[in-house]
Every structure is written in structure tokens, then in C-alpha cells.
Structure 1
Amino acid sequence: MAEQVGLSVAAVKRRVDRLRELGVITGFTAKVDYAKLGWGIQAFTEMRYSGSTPVGEIVRTTTGFPEVEEVFTIAGDPDALIHLRARDLEHLQQVIDNLRRGGNVTGTKTLMVLGSWSKDSRQIRRA
């Protein structure tokens, strides 16, 4: 990192330590190649719930699945966006079926990821 920003290792360490103390940096992560682990399918599922469903129930009924990476509760239609990983298409269908059975789900729409881009990687990754 020091080389990339043109500073000494000691200067970068001081700055990173300071950012951690301030709570700006909250942790560090590892990048995982899920395809090499057999979880090559990535998708987003829009979830719609009955109007009286509390946010806590949406989170509770979706986060209990190992395939669920992230849950975003959102304003408007749909009510939540679920980031999923699955082994294959059959497994993805099973996960979606299980999600549909939880809580007051009134509808879903699933979008499969074909490729992705992130600020960190600066390149397109194929799914």
C-alpha cells in the first residue's frame, strides 16, 4: 500500500492506525473466489411483502439461509433486495422457493449476475 500511495511503510501504518482509532476503518476483509468453492452462481432477488410486514421480520426470514450474502431493506417497491450465492441453477431455484415460503412474501423477481465490476478491482469479473 505504501508504494501505491508514495509514502513510507511507517507513515502508512500511522495513518491506518489513526483511521482505525477514529472508526473510519472498521475492519479488513479477504476476497474469496466463490466459484472455486463450488458456489459459482450469484443472483439478486427482489422480495415483496404484505404491507404490514415489519422490517425485523423481513431480515429474520431471509438471513437464516447460508446462501444469503446480504439483505438490503429498501424504500418503495420491492421491499428488500437479497444478494444470493448458489452452487448451480437447481440450487438457486431451491433457495428462491425457500425464501418465498418465509414470512408474508407476496412476490419475488430474481436477476442472475453475468459479470461484475468494483472500484477495488478496476476490472470486470465474469460470473
Structure 2
Amino acid sequence: MTAYSLDATDWRLLEALQRDGRATFAELARTVAMSPSAVTERVRRLEEAGVITGYSAVIDHERIGLPILAMVRLRYPTGNYKPFHDLLASTPEVLEAHHVTGDDCFVMKVAARSMRHLEETTGRISGLGAVTTSIVYSSPLERRPLVL
């Protein structure tokens, strides 16, 4: 895959959209000192190039009853990933899953209602291999926009 070449204006637009995905084209135009139509075209090009892959809401998990956040590492003993992908499809508590190097094969971010709920979820995951769970105390940096 070839990297898309971004200029300084593209980076400023991307930074603004990462901070506020609901910004209007007029607001973005003011940010980068361009016309709204030029900004609309640039954003469209970034979307078509796959640089911008979507827009979403950031949800506070505690406010919706999922106060426990954990990082779950899985040592997966086989190269057949279908059972793992099936588990991901049927386990909405898993918010992210990353195939990684090292002793563990996968690292997952899991949200749960309670310790019992987390135990049930990690129990299902452990059916595929050895699991190590780390409870998140706090997140001094939850997400950071990519900037130039």
C-alpha cells in the first residue's frame, strides 16, 4: 500500500477533524483559511484515498454502565484464526483486538459492567488459549490525534 502524500493543509484539516468530527465545512475552512468548497473537495479526496476511514462518537464507558476497562492478552496456540474471529464477532465487550508480536498473540481492550462480567468474558476468551488480564486504573492519555 502506498502512503498518500499529505501537505500542511491536509494535516491541519485532519487534526481539526480528529478533534471535532462534527465540524462543518465552514468551520474547517476558517481553520485552514480556505473556501468551504475547497475544503469540501479536500476532505472528499482524503476520504476517497482512504486516509479518512470514518467518523464516530467517542463514548464514556462509565456513563453507560461499563465502568471496568481491561487489557486482555491471549496466547493463541494455533494458526487457525477462525475461532478467534468468531469469538470477536460474538463478544461485544471486546472493543479492540490487535494481533501482536511477542509471547502473546493478541491484545484486546475489554469493557465490562462488573468484575463478575469481566470474569465471564475472559473465561470465554480463555477457551482459546492462555489469558492474562490487566485492569485499567486510569487512562492519562485515552486517545491522541495524529498530527504532523
What residue ranges of structure 2 are gaps of 5+ in the alignment? Answer: 1-27
**Alignment partner, residue 12 of structure 2:** none
Between the two proteins, what is the percent identity of the paired residues?
29
Structure 1 residue runs of 5 or longer lacking an equivalent are: 121-127
CA–CA distance in 2 between the matches of 1:70 and 1:34? Answer: 14
CA distance in 2, matches of 1:60, 1:15: 38
* Number of matched pairs: 116
Following TM superposition, by how much is the alpha carbon of 1:86 offset from its aligned partner in structure 2, in angstroms? Answer: 0.7
Give every structure 1 segment of 4 or more consecutive aligned residues whose post-TM-superposition deviation is greater than 4 Å.
none
Q: 1:73 aligns with which of 99, 124, 147?
A: 99
Query: 2-side partners of 1:39 and 1:73: how far apart?
Result: 24
Rounded to whole Å, the distance in 2 between the matches of 1:65 and 1:86 is 11
Higher fraction of strand: 1
Distance across 2 between alignment mates of 1:116 and 1:93: 25
Cα deviation, residue 116, structure 1: 4.2
* TM value normalised by structure 1: 0.77
Change (3 A) 1:83 1:9: same
1:11 aligns with 2:11: no
**Once the two structures are superposed, what CA deviation does each residue of 1:25-44 show, in whole Å capped at 9, x if it has no partner?**
22111111221111121111
SS at structure 2 position matched to 1:115: coil
1:28 maps to what in 2? 55
Q: Which residue of 2 aligns with 1:99?
A: 125
One-letter amino acid of the structure 2 residue matched with residue 29 of structure 1: S
